[in-house]
Amino acid sequence: MTFPHINEILEHISVASEPLTKREIIRVFGIKGDDRRILKQYLRQLEEDGKIVKSEKKTYSVPNSLPLVTIIQITKIDIDGDLFAEPLDWDIETQGPKPRIELISNTPLKEGDRALAKLKKYNDTLYEGSVIRRVDKQRATVMGQVAKTAKGYLLQPANKKAKYDFDIAQNDLNGAKAGDLVLADISTSRSIKRRNAKITEVLGHRDDVNAISLIALHEAGLHEHFLDKVVEAAKGLKVPPLGKREDLRSIPLVTIDGADARDFDDAVFAEKRSEKEGGGFHLIVAIADVAYYVHPGSVIDHEAYKRGNSTYFPDRVVPMLPEALSNDMCSIMPKVDRACMGFHIWINDHGEITKYKVFRGLMRSHARLTYEQVQAAKDGVTDDITDTLMKDVIEPLYEAYEVLDKARQKRGALDLDLPERQILINDKGKMTGVTKRSRLDAHKLIEEFMILANVAAAKALEAKRAPCVYRIHDKPSADKLDAAREFLEAFGLSLAKGGIAKPSQINHILHKASEMEYSQLISQVILRTQSQAVYHPENISHFGLALQRYAHFTSPIRRYADLLIHRSLIRAYNLGEGGLSEEEAVTLTEKAEHISTTERTSAEAERNAVDRFTATWMSERIGAEFTGVINGVTRFGLFITLDENGADGLIPMRSLPDDYYIHDEKQHALIGRKSNRIYRLGARMTVRLKEADGLTGSSLFEVANDQSADIPGISFKTPKTYGSDSRKGRKSRSKFNKKGRKTPGKTKQRSSQKPKKPKK
């Protein structure tokens, strides 16, 4: 056999299904004796020219080819259940388009999962892979703030649940300075019991106005900005022609939103029907036709699904769709044509749906109204816009709302008294205060119209036996109800034993409690008994709304669940292009699980951002005294909600007046063994602010006096004394670090029993 040309060797390495060793190349070409030295020279030359690369295991492959074993991420599951993936670590700018991997797996995987896989190469862009094992989605990373101490640099985690700070070596700072917000890889040294961090990215400085939202974004794994290809795909979109769409442009549909809203995805109209027409009302709920612009499988759709929903922070929105859609083509702005989907709904005088019709149309909003503006008009204070709309638009809307509200009360939907905090932000992005968000009849009006449309959507899909992602809410579990029952009995309120069948049973308690001073406390206790609402293709009804069928339809700009409902309606009722694909139909359970997860992620990120804004604002009032209510009782301390601004914080056990405290779970109380001092859920007390940390969003308080914090006039079944051997007792001097995080190790307990001698 003649000695191969250097290009033949390069071609063989290029087309090989996996990296080759020198021995394998020798065997393929039959190279013998001294010719092996020539091969070695050729391989070195190809390596120096950058045409091949040599791995640590002394195998050869062409640049940009994947290693034999690599971490991949599932990108698609087709209608046949075949898996497709991409390499996790791949730089498109330097390595070109990502190769596609057709995957063989005995491990259950879903879209977005990561796995370690063994690969075989077919060509430069196609590989076959077999899964070795599934891997965690995130590497061991932490986000926090760099701090400088006398001993060196530390990373202080932004997560309030973190127990430790991390050491940063000087050569691992990666340009970070004290006060910078950073991402870091973490590791634990085996030689010494220390935890180390290596800075991988500097996000900004602690004093930046964007810092708080920046922390919340990265902590939740959210991305504010879209990839260039997504932004590009959203450019140049236009409003569709009328065609077969229903023309709604002459109907005085209006949008009613918050004063600070930037996107408007729903419009409403109502007209009262005469007795000849059967009485009741004809309602129209028109929703932005997002499905016309975002088709299944498109780059915009892929990104929208990954995000799952928009996330709302006090100073910004992380949208599900790029701005060209969410703030323009899919935003129902006044006086311009917009594509829409929606329902004509006819209700009787009892608020019951008698008929409905789904449509795909073209509309023109007659006015952009705010809740406060509409409510003022209803109360007799009109302006130039509402004055002309009162008779034909606003008054019929309120008349229909009154009917729907009575129907809501009749069916017994839950009515919890839980005011929401609103963070006030100035033009510079700085928090200026906290207030309780108002809840007007105008808010409730829009809510009832949206609920009605959501019910109609579920009905319409069931009528066609079409796929549906329901919004389901299970009834409370017996265990949670049992935990609340004894506490509520102290207020003269009784929960039926054996479970709750209807929300009206809970509403009966809430109605009685509404006249009490502690109505919000009781609402909070009831809320804690509730299951979490989720998305699912199997319907078990919605307990909280007391509805047999319910699906989210009214906000496809900000919720992917609604977009799926739009697509299913389009396909079921032959409304044109953009309908639900077969692949979506067969993976609906997986998609419902994914968007339920993204919803929880966003909700947690929003809460954490509010906590951080509040703590940052409170940090300027250290030492001030506040009145508040105990909203949580745990074995490590008390959680307080302040009356003034709704801010939350912790009184660690160590900050309570010196005693040995028993945690009585049934009575939601801490009781001092020596003094019988009681700190009970719902009781009022005066506290002093000791610390407020905007980085973690945590605030620490201490008791401003030594008085008990009990509920006067309420008789609880609390024992007069507690034995010293109680397992639930805790010393008030439990160890917490200065951030309120519990330090490692077990909290000491007192016991009447002598400690056992250690074994020799």
Burial 651-667 (b: 16+ CB within 10 A, else e): bbbbbbbebbbbbbeeb
**Pair of tokens at residue 260:** 């600070």
Check the CA dihedral 616-201-152-654 and report its sign.
positive
Cα–Cα distance list, 491 to 151, 513, 588, 711 (Å): 56, 8, 45, 10
CA quadruple 56, 60, 63, 65: dihedral sign? negative
Report the distance separating Cα 48 and Cα 340, nearest Å: 61
Please, what sign has the CA dihedral across residues 76, 82, 88, 94?
A: negative
CA distance 323 to 331: 10
Task: For the domain covering 622-731, report its CATH number.
Answer: 2.40.50.140
Determine the Cα–Cα distance for residues 419 and 642; give it in Å rounded to an integer.
13
Place of tokens 């004063």: 259
Look at residue 284 in the predicted model and tell me its pLDDT.
98
DSSP for 271-332, please give it. Answer: EEPPTTTTSSEEEEEEEE-HHHHS-TTSHHHHHHHHH-B-EEETTEEE-SS-HHIIIIITS-
pTM of this structure: 0.75
Q: Is 267 helix (H, G, I), strand (E, B) or coil?
A: strand
The domain locations on the chain are 6-61, 69-135, 141-208, 239-457, 477-527, 622-731
- CATH for 141-208 (2.40.50.700, 3.30.420.40, 3.40.50.720, 3.40.190.10): 2.40.50.700
Q: Do domains 69-135 and 622-731 have the same CATH topology?
A: yes
pLDDT value of position 147: 93
Rg (CA), the chain: 31
In angstroms, rounded to a whole number, what is the distance separating the alpha carbons of residues 244 and 736? Answer: 67
Residue 202: HSE in the Cβ half-sphere, 13 Å Cα cutoff: 14
Distance CA 546, CA 351 (A): 14
What is the DSSP secondary-structure string of 144-161? Answer: EEEEEETTEEEEEES-TT
Architecture field, domain 69-135: Beta Barrel (2.40)
Rounded-to-integer distance, Cα 47 and Cα 22, Å: 13
Q: Which two tokens stand for residue 646?
A: 């709704």
Pick the CATH number of 6-61 from 1.10.10.10, 2.30.110.10, 3.40.50.10140, 3.65.10.10: 1.10.10.10
Whether 551 contacts 458, CB under 8 Å: yes
Which of 244, 291, 286 lies closest to 265 in space, CA to CA?
286
Distance of alpha carbon 672 from alpha carbon 666, whole angstroms: 16
Q: Rounded distance, CA 304 to CA 320, Å?
A: 5
Report the residue count for the chain.
Answer: 760
Strand order in the sheet with 53-54: 20-21, 59-61, 53-54
The token pair at 67 is 């290693």
Give the number of C-alpha atoms closer than 13 A to the C-alpha of residue 280, restricted to the C-beta side.
17
Max Cα–Cα distance, the chain, nearest Å: 105
Strand partners, 369: 256
Within 13 A of 12's CA, how many CA atoms are on the CB side? 17
How many Cβ atoms from other residues are within 10 Å of residue 17's Cβ?
A: 13
**First-last CA distance in the chain:** 76
Give the C-alpha separation, 525 to 481, whole Å. Answer: 10
Can you list the alpha helix ranges (DSSP code H) found in 174-222? 211-220
Residue 535 makes CB contacts below 8 A (sequence gap 6+) with: 469, 470, 471, 472, 552, 561, 592, 593, 595, 596, 599
Mean pLDDT in order along the chain per 10 residues (760 residues): 79 74 85 85 82 77 70 78 78 68 76 79 77 62 88 87 82 89 70 69 83 83 90 95 96 94 91 92 98 96 95 91 95 96 97 97 97 96 95 97 95 79 79 80 96 98 97 87 78 75 81 78 82 94 94 97 98 96 93 93 90 88 92 88 86 88 85 88 91 89 85 64 45 44 41 42
185 Cβ contact list (under 8 Å, min separation 6) = 139, 140, 141, 197, 198, 200
Q: What is the pLDDT of residue 735?
A: 41
Phi, psi values for residue 365, rounded to 5°: -60, 135
Among all chains, which residue has been given the structure tokens 């030359």? 45
d(CA 736, CA 747): 10
Enumerate the β-bridge partners of residue 471: 535
Can you give the pLDDT at residue 760? Answer: 41
pLDDT at 547: 94
Which tokens sit at 388? 């002309």
Secondary structure (DSSP) of 506-551: HHHHHHHHTTSTTHHHHHHHHHTTPPPPEEESS---BTTTTBS---
CB 641 within 8 A of CB 628: yes
Instruction: Give me the residues paired with residue 60 across strands.
Output: 20, 54
- The two tokens of residue 156 are 């202080």
What is the distance of C-alpha 181 from the center of its chain?
A: 22
DSSP state for residue 723 in the 8-state scheme: -
Q: Which residue has the tokens 């859609």?
A: 325
Half-sphere exposure of 361 (CA within 13 A, CB side): 23
**Residue 130 half-sphere exposure toward CB, CA atoms < 13 A:** 2
What's the CA gap between 78 and 181, in Å, rounded? 41
Give the pairing of strands 53-54 and 83-87: unpaired
Cβ(431)–Cβ(423) below 8 Å: yes
